[in-house]
Amino acid sequence: MSTTAFVALGTSLPPREETLASARRALAALPYARGSLRASPVYETTPVGPAENPFLNQVVALEVDLDAPARLLCDLLEIEAAHGRTRAIHWGDRTLDLDLLFFGARVNDDPACVLPHPRLHERDFVLVPLCDLDPELVHPRLKRPVRDLLAGLATPRTILRQL
């Protein structure tokens, strides 16, 4: 059974563009990935929290033959580690951040793998590239399309430019 997973990619440490490209290749090479990966444009964004460097952010849609999202989440963490990710400072600069946003319409409250991602509806650096891929995608908890979630954001925008 094929499921569409949406994954957010972010990096604030050089070489940013190469890191995103390498992460996309790693995602497409997962043994359960099917078809081609769809990727949004890349956006440069201001950091949120203690990070000092601008981020590059992107969202990809990946068709996977998996019944449960835990395997994908585990592989995302391994891809991050392979790119030198450390978790020394919460919301600090990082080589690579991969967040599982959606796994089909799955809703999951397991603290190890909350779905949809619990803060995606608050983040323009996630919603803008997500809308590039599928503006009509409905958030399964909020029952609203992501384009409406983006339009309803009250927080200042973090996006500096599209690359």
Cβ(151)–Cβ(158) below 8 Å: no
Q: Catalytic: which of 85, 123, 124, 134?
A: 85
Q: Catalytic: which of 16, 75, 94, 124?
A: 94
| 94 part of the active site | yes
The pair of structure tokens assigned to 97 is 């951040």
| 97 part of the active site | yes
Q: b/e per residue, 97-135, with b = 16+ CB within 10 A? A: bbbbbbbbebebeeeebebbbeebbebbbbbbbbbbbbe
Instruction: Kindly report the backbone phi and psi dihedral angles of residue 155, in degrees, each rounded to the nearest multiple of 5, phi listed first.
Output: -80, 155
Q: Catalytic: which of 97, 123, 124, 134?
A: 97
| 124 part of the active site | no
Find the helix or strand (DSSP H, E) in which 71 lies.
helix 69-82
3-class secondary-structure state, position 70: helix
Q: Catalytic: which of 99, 132, 147, 148?
A: 99
Q: Which residues are catalytic?
A: 85, 94, 97, 99
